[in-house]
Homo-oligomer: A and B are copies of this chain.
Amino acid sequence: MKINPTKPSGNTIEEVSVDCVMIGFHGDELKILLLQWNETDWSLPRGKIYRSEQIAEAASRVLKETTGIQDVFLQQFHAFGPANRYQPYRADKKKRLKNNKAKNDFHESIISIGFYALVDFEKVKPNLTGSFQWCKITAIPNLLFDHDDVIELALIALRKDLRYLPIAKLLPQKFTLREMQKLYETILNRTFDRRNFHKLLMAYDFLIKLPEKKIGTANKSPHLYQIDLEKYETALQDGISY
């Protein structure tokens, strides 16, 4: 379910925020969408929940209001608690902050509810301000609040959910098995034996082998495949083993 929200009326919930972890995949890279507050301070997109909306609606609205991004399915994965946020090193970050809004936010949001989405970072671009950047997962700066923890748990949740997620939709419409393997390897941060992985995938009936081959690759031209979307959805109900 993708939610395209409008601004609700009424009061927000004071003690709770939503944090959005946009996980971007393209080729063999994973990136996270970060908001730059000033020269040194970065965070995830975050915001409040209105009393008249669902938490998932709030997450979609916050993402749209802060980044301009919409039509993305955000998956709730974890609620982060009060004790974490007041450790000494968090207090340090707060002292450093020049921005009063961010300082207040340290007080107000005692609990935050994390959402993640997996998208193609070449296609999903923030369009409201210049202060958002897709940042390589290996080069994420020290973040405000407990957002380092939030990203860590988002990646764990993504890896656990992977068998139920239509990740193959992130591939080009026609793709090689090597590209599909790379997708799993990048997200899971591990390697697979090529033959075992292909055998596993071919045990499902959602891959359609095309007569065409991919040309212009270094070695011999590999076959192209596409997804039978209906069969893919069925396979995802039970979860795809890999």
Residues of A at under 8 Å CB distance from B?
13-16, 49-58, 76, 78-84, 110-111, 113, 160-161, 164, 239, 241
B contact residues around A241 at 8 Å (CB) = 241
Shortest A221–chain B CB gap in Å is 33
Jot down 16 A-B pairs with beta carbons below 8 A, ordered by A. Answer: A13-B82, A13-B110, A14-B15, A15-B16, A49-B82, A51-B82, A51-B110, A52-B82, A53-B81, A54-B81, A55-B80, A79-B79, A79-B113, A160-B161, A160-B239, A241-B241
B contact residues around A113 at 8 Å (CB) = 79, 111
B contact residues around A56 at 8 Å (CB) = 81
B contact residues around A15 at 8 Å (CB) = 13-16
For A55, the closest partner residue in chain B by CB is B81
B contact residues around A164 at 8 Å (CB) = 160
| Cα separation A81 to B239 with both chains bound (whole Å) | 27
Protomer copies = 2
| Cα separation A83 to B15 with both chains bound (whole Å) | 16
B contact residues around A78 at 8 Å (CB) = 76
For A111, the closest partner residue in chain B by CB is B16
Of B49, B160, B161, the contact of A81 (CB 8 Å cutoff): B49
B contact residues around A161 at 8 Å (CB) = 160
B contact residues around A79 at 8 Å (CB) = 55, 76, 79, 113
Q: Is the CB of B14 within 8 A of A83?
A: no
Other than the known A53-B82, A79-B79, A160-B164, what 6 A-B pairs have Cβ atoms closer than 8 Å? Answer: A49-B81, A49-B82, A51-B110, A54-B83, A79-B113, A160-B239
Q: Is the CB of B54 within 8 A of A84?
A: yes
| Cα separation A111 to B80 with both chains bound (whole Å) | 13
Shortest A173–chain B CB gap in Å is 29
| Cα separation A113 to B16 with both chains bound (whole Å) | 12
B contact residues around A111 at 8 Å (CB) = 13, 16, 49, 55, 111, 113
B contact residues around A83 at 8 Å (CB) = 52-54, 57
Shortest A139–chain B CB gap in Å is 27
